[in-house]
Every structure is written in structure tokens, then in C-alpha cells.
Amino acid sequence: MTQPAWSAGGRAYEQHEGNVIFLLGGRLQTSRDNPLILLFTLALVFGGPIVWVAFEAHYVWTAISPAPLIIFAYVTLNAWASLVRTSFCDPGIIPRYLEDGDKPSEKSIVLTRVDDGGVAGSLETTIALQWCTTCHIYRPPRASHCRACNNCVDTIDHHCVFLNACIGRRNYAAFVSMLVHLFICIIISVVCSALHLYHVAHPTTDAQRSGTGSGFVYALRHEPQCIVFFWVGSVFLIPVSCLLTYHVWLITQNRTTIEQIRLEASGRIYDMERKDADCAENYACLRMCVRFSAWVRQFLVAPTIVSSSDKGNNKRRRSPFQRPHASQNAQAALGRAVPDVFMSWRDAPP
């Protein structure tokens, strides 16, 4: 039997065997997988708003209104905090060697379904727990082993290459918060840049006037940064809004990205067939966002992570975790409580 890390002495993180770099005495962490992309993301998310404020703040404050700038500062700070929380904090890594020995026996747990799954019969579902040969644990339902981080992560959504971290039970809410705030941040910068350009082309007050000329060509020559901010913002708005739409939809189903891919892979795209509650099918724009996100996602999620061992066995059309109403699902998805067993290992005595 292999002993838990902390029983050999020292801090638990120092003896952690995953592919993870720990910083500041184990308070922060990031995957060893590809820290360079994380640096690029940090430069973009921290640098972008600073550059925009440096060029546009004065004009927005004096010629438009202080309000957009104050809101911009607020959402940017929230986006930064959410990014750090998502990228550098524990996504829900399940400690290794929780079992006494190597795969002692087959294990399955009985879950009471939160609805009837659209099928008449028992409300109880039996889920066989999968043994992780790397972590030496039985994975709880909804957990998966991330190859990039070499950890099992509880309620894993996906491994984000741009944040160089898993998105799981503990940081999913922060991830969604980051998307929401980035979305608002980009909208404000794009709209204000467009207004700046429009005002310079057709000034009606002295504050809006920039120099002596007017017209669109004059505005482009005189304030070229506006069109750069407008286009760059618009380009980033597309993936951010698609990702946000996709996750809002997943949240209303209480489903993770990996679960959705597994369902699609096994030919059970059940929610697409349901008539109630599925707004994604009713609006062409939403449907397009969801499909575009699914297409982008194929480049980001390794095929190995989505292979499901129970392919085709389960005839039910909803997961046991899906509630009948979108609001209940959202509450469950964003407020996932961390089980006690995952809290105890951090504070375990040496």
C-alpha cells in the first residue's frame, strides 16, 4: 500500500506527484503543461485594458461620460481577480492514494436521480466508480483524470490551454465570472472607441472636436487608435461571447463540457431533442454560438479525455445531476459545494 503524501512528513503540496508547479508556499499553482500560453493570456487580459485606458480614458471621461470608465474599471478589476482565481488556484484536485491498496474491489455507488430522466422506472441510478491507475483512487462521479496536469479533478469541466489549468469544481464559478466580466469589458471598449471615432467625424460639442477637421477619413487619420481598438475588441468579442453563451447553456443543464462531449460522442444529444426549456434550438443566433463553440472546442479538448467507458449502455436521456428547471441547474452548477474529504487533505497534519 502506498501511503498518503502527508504521512511521510512535510507539506502535502511539496510531495504532490501531479504535473503542477506550486508557488508561494503552495498557495498558487499552475500546470507544467504550457506556462508560456498562460503568460500570453495574462499579458493580453492585464495589458489590453491598461493600454485602452491610457489612450481613451481622457476622451471618454470628458466627451462621453465618466460612467463607462468607472464601470470599465470595476469590471476589469473583477475580470483580473477571476482570472487569477481560475488560473492559479486549486480546481478541485483529488488527493492520491485514498484507497488502501491497488484497486481492492469493484465499487459502485447509488445516486438518487434529481428527475426521472425522461424514462419511467426507478429514480435511482447506479454508477460504477472508475479506478484511476495513476492516482490510485476511485474517481467520484463527474471526476476525470487530466493528462496535462496529471491529476484527477473533481467535476472537471475541461483543461483550458489558455489559462494553463483545469476548470473544475472549485474554480468553475470564477471561470464563468471571468467570461462575464471580460465580455462587458470588451463591449464597453468597443462601443466607446466607436463613439470616439463617430464624434471626431461629426462633432457637435467642443469636447467632441479633435482639431479643426471633420469626416470619417479625417477621424481615421487623427485618431487611428480608435479603429484599432474597435477591430481588436470586435475580434476578441467573438470567442468570448461564444464561450460565454455555451457555458450559460451548460450551466442551465448542470452539465460540464466533457459530459456534453461524451453525450454527443455516444449519440445522445438529448437536449437538442427536447422541446421544453431548450432556448438554444429556438434562436438562430444562440444556436450558431453553441455550434461555433463546439467546433472551437474540438481543437482544445484532447480526444482521449472524452472517451466514455459506458458508451451506449445508459439509455437515460438526462444525467442524474440535471434538475428539471434551468434555475435549479444554475444554482447547482455555480454553487458546487466541496466535499469534506477534499478539504481535509490540505490541512492534514505533517
Query: Of 299 and 312, which CB lies nearer to Zn ion in the complex structure?
Result: 299
For the packed helices 172-201 and 326-334, what is the interaxial angle rounded to 10 degrees?
110
Least distance in Å: CB of 91 to Zn ion? 7
What are the C-alpha distances in Å from 64 to residues 58, 185, 226?
10, 17, 14
CB 200 within 8 A of CB 219: yes
Tell me how far apart the alpha carbons of residues 341 and 350 are, in angstroms, rounded to a whole number: 17
Please, what is the minimum distance in Å from the beta carbon of residue 305 to Zn ion? Answer: 9
Question: One of 160, 166, 226, 289 is an active-site residue; which one?
Answer: 160
Comparing CB distances to Zn ion, the nearer of 96 and 268 is: 96
Binding footprint of Zn ion on the chain (CB under 5 A): 132, 134-135, 145-146, 148-149, 152, 159, 166
Instruction: Work out how close the CB of 105 gets to Zn ion at its nearest, in angstroms, rounded to a whole number.
Output: 18
- Nearer Cβ to Zn ion, position 241 or 257? 257
Residue placing its CB nearer to Zn ion in the complex, 149 or 232: 149
State in angstroms the smallest separation of the CB of 42 from Zn ion: 18
Give the cell for residue 122. 426507478
Q: Is residue 135 annotated as a catalytic residue, yes or no?
A: no
Q: In sequence order, what are the beta bridge partners of 108?
A: 128
Closest CA to 164 of 96, 95, 86: 86
- How far apart are the C-alpha atoms of 347 and 199, rounded to whole Å? 58
Contacts of 73 (CB under 8 A, 6+ apart): 53
Q: Any residues with CB less than 8 A from the CB of 109 and at least 6 apart, and which?
A: 126, 127, 129, 141
Catalytic residues: 160
